[in-house]
Amino acid sequence: MAQSIFFDKRQRFLVGETLKIAETLAGDYFRINLEDIERFPYDLQTLANLKSREKTRRALAQVCKYEYHKKEPLWKFGINEFYRICLQDDKILGAARAETSSLSLLKPLLLYVVTHELVHVVRFSQDPQRFYLEPEEKKVEEKDVHRMTYQILKSFSDPHVRVLLERYRPWWEDLEGQAPEGLPLTNPAGMPNFL
Ligand SMILES: [Zn+2]
């Protein structure tokens, strides 16, 4: 039977649990309350619920931004902007399967991906201009986000989380302030980059 490109029920539950953990950790790291929807308007969707523009073949996940340009906010919360973390189930499952058929890396990979994307959301929410950086600036921003993701997750003693943190270390370390030319979509471990 062909493997599904979507997370199954158990995996979607895992995504929900992972988001809660990542929100707590990121909230502590940035000293913010991510439940404050006026300051941090976002949600997270998996592939089954993504619109075509929210899907990407280039990454495990991406953040999409929605803006309302009417004078009066459409939402009762008074929000004019909204961010959506778009998980690409098929890419994440593919990356986890490439490591082990038992999918033992899926849980820590989800933790890394969701935390990474949440860091983007926090930084976009705090400074909306970050969403519109030039390509070179985006590389620096991406590196900073990987570094912060490492800082947020480094206290985890789970060996699978440790493995992933080391796999992604080259994305933020020893690059002398610059991402290398022509960043490949996969790092040496074969994991696709994030947007
Ligand atoms: Zn990123």
Q: What is the CA(16)–ligand 1 centre distance, in A?
A: 20
Q: What is the CA(71)–ligand 1 centre distance, in A?
A: 31
**Domain membership flag for residue 1:** no
**Domain membership flag for residue 73:** yes
Residue 156's domain spans which residues? 9-171
Q: What is the CA(124)–ligand 1 centre distance, in A?
A: 11
Q: What is the CA(117)–ligand 1 centre distance, in A?
A: 6
Helix 159-168 to helix 135-153 angle (10° resolution) is 160
Does the structure show a pLDDT above 50 at 30? yes
**Domain membership flag for residue 177:** no
pLDDT in tens, 140-186: 899 999 999 999 999 988 999 998 888 888 778 865 554 444 333 34
Specify the pLDDT at position 49: 97
Q: pLDDT band at residue 187, thresholds of 50, 70 and 90?
A: very low
Q: What is the CA(77)–ligand 1 centre distance, in A?
A: 27
**Domain membership flag for residue 151:** yes
Mean pLDDT for the chain?
85
Query: Residues of 2-39 as b/e, b for ≥16 C-beta within 10 angstroms?
Result: eeeeebeeebeebbeebbeebbebbbebbeeebeeeee
Q: What is the CA(81)–ligand 1 centre distance, in A?
A: 19
Q: What is the CA(155)–ligand 1 centre distance, in A?
A: 21
**Domain membership flag for residue 179:** no
Q: How many independent structural domains does the chain possess? A: 1
**Weakest-pLDDT range from 9-13, 43-47, 72-76, 143-147:** 72-76
**Domain membership flag for residue 42:** yes
Q: What is the CA(157)–ligand 1 centre distance, in A?
A: 24
Query: Which burial class, exposed, middle or buried, applies to 119 when counting CB atoms under 10 A from its CB (0-12, 13-18, 19+)?
Result: buried
Specify the pLDDT at position 57: 86
Specify the pLDDT at position 81: 85
This prediction has a pTM of 0.87
**Domain membership flag for residue 176:** no
Q: What is the CA(125)–ligand 1 centre distance, in A?
A: 15
